[in-house]
Amino acid sequence: MGERAKLGKLKFNTASNIAIILFISVLAIKNLESIIQPLVVAILLFFLIRPPAQWLEEKIGGHPFLAYGAFVSIVIGILLVVSNVLFSNLQTFTDEVPYLSEKLSSKLLWFENNDIIWGISFDTPALIDLITVEKIEIFATGLVGSLASFTVGSITVLIFLLFIILESETLPKRIKAAYPEDADKITKLASASSESINMYVLTRATVAFGQAIIVAIILYFYGIPGWFLWASITFMMDFIPYVGALISIIPPMLLGLIILSPGSAFLLLFLLIANQQLWGGIVEPLLAGKRLDMSPIVLLLLVAFWGWAWGVLGMVLGVPLAVIMKLALESDPRTKPIAMMLSMNPREE
C-alpha cells in the first residue's frame, strides 16, 4: 500500500505550477476563444467518431480518412438539417408573438381581478415585469442562434479535425520515440478519455432524445405554440448537467400559464417535471451503470465557468472537458489527490 497523500506535504512548486497553469489557461480560453474553441470541439469530435470510424475502416478498408470523412459528413449534415428546421420553427413562433402578447394581457387582467387564487396572492405588476412573450422569444432566439453560428463556423472545426485525423496516424509513434517512459501513460489517458466521452455522449444523447420526445407529445397535446422548438431546446439543454433540463421547461410552462387555465397549467408543470425526473433520475443511471463520478458542485462550477467563457456552447462542452481534466489529474501521483477531491466517490488505495 502506497503512502497516503497529506495536504501539508503538497510541494509548494507543484501548487504554484498548477496556479500558474490555471491562470494562463483562463486568459487563453477567454482571449483566444476563436482559436481554442474550434480546436476543443475538433478534439472532442475526434474522440467521439474514432471508435465507429475504426470499425468502418476495418470493414471497408482503404485510407482511414475515408471512414472519418463519412462520419464527419453525417454529423455536419445533421447539424445543417436541424439548424434549418429550428430556424423555421422559430420563425413560426415569432409570427405568433402578437397573438400570445394579447393573450398574456388578458390573463394578467384576469389575475388582477382575482388577487387570490387557491389561497395564493399574486402581485400583478411584478408578473408583468417577470413574464413577457418577448423574453421567451429572446431565450429561444439565443439558443437557436448559438447552434446556427456554430454550424456556420464549423469550417474552422473541420480544418482542425482534418489535421488531428492526419496526425493521429503518426503521433503515437512520435510520442513513444520522444518520451518512451511516458508513452504508455499518455496512450492510456487518451484511450480512457475517448471511452469516457463516448459513454457520456451516448448516454446523455439517449436520455435527452427520449425526454425531448415525451416533451413534444405533452406540449402538442396541450397546444403549446412552438412545441417542436421547445422539445428541441429540451434536447440541447439536457447536455447541461443538473440545471439544463429544468431551465428548458420554463418557457413552455410560461406559455402554458398564458393560454391554459391555472389547473391545466399546473398539470402541465407536473408532467414536464415528472418526465425530466424519470429520464434523469431512473433511465440515465440504468443506461450508464453509474452517474458521472464528479462532485455536483464541481460540475456546476465548471459549467458556470465555461458558460462565462464561451456561452451556451461552453456549458455543453464543460462536462467532457471536466472528464478529461479529471483523468489527466489522476494520471500523475502529484495531482491525484486533487482528482480525488473532485470525485463524488473517490477510491481509497
Rounded Cα distance between 172 and 166, Å, is 12
pLDDT at 120 over 60: no
H-helix segments, the chain? 12-31, 33-60, 64-95, 97-113, 124-130, 133-152, 154-168, 171-178, 183-222, 227-237, 244-248, 250-259, 262-278, 284-288, 296-330, 336-342
Lowest mean pLDDT among 74-78, 124-128, 241-245: 124-128
Neighbouring CB atoms inside 10 A of 325's CB total 16
Residue 320 has a pLDDT of 83
**Residue 249 burial (C-beta neighbours within 10 Å; 0-12, 13-18, 19+):** buried
Residue 2 has a pLDDT of 47
Q: State the cell numbers at 108.
A: 394578467
Residue 313 has a pLDDT of 78
Q: State the cell numbers at 191.
A: 484511450
Averaged pLDDT, 184-211: 79
> 305: helix, coil or strand?
helix
Residue 213 has a pLDDT of 92
Residue 8 has a pLDDT of 47
> Which has more pLDDT, 130 or 242?
242
User: pTM above the 0.75 mark?
Assistant: no
Which residue matches cell numbers 397549467?
Answer: 265
Give the CA distances from residue 158 to residues 35, 46, 275, 286, 309, in Å, rounded to whole numbers and listed in that order.
13, 10, 36, 34, 22
Rounded Cα distance between 149 and 147, Å, is 6
Closest CA relative to residue 212, chosen from 248, 240, 241? 248
Residue 191 has a pLDDT of 76
> Which has more pLDDT, 119 or 27?
27
pLDDT at 128 over 70: no
Beta-bridge partners for 48: none
Q: State the cell numbers at 327.
A: 483523468
Rounded Cα distance between 67 and 76, Å, is 15
pLDDT at 343 over 70: yes
Give residue-wise pLDDT tens across range 306-321.
Answer: 888 888 778 888 888 8
Residue 214 has a pLDDT of 92
pLDDT at 217 over 90: yes
Averaged pLDDT, 288-297: 64
Which residue matches cell numbers 387564487?
Answer: 117
pLDDT at 275 over 80: yes
Residue 218 has a pLDDT of 92
Highest mean pLDDT among 149-153, 211-215, 285-289, 344-348: 211-215
Give residue-wise pLDDT tens across range 93-111.
Answer: 777 777 777 777 776 666 6
Terminal Cα-to-Cα distance of the chain (whole angstroms): 7
pLDDT at 181 over 80: no
Residue 3 has a pLDDT of 47
% of the chain beyond a pLDDT of 70: 77
pLDDT at 168 over 80: no
Averaged pLDDT, 29-53: 81
User: Mean pLDDT in the chain?
Assistant: 75
Averaged pLDDT, 59-74: 72
Rounded Cα distance between 310 and 28, Å, is 12
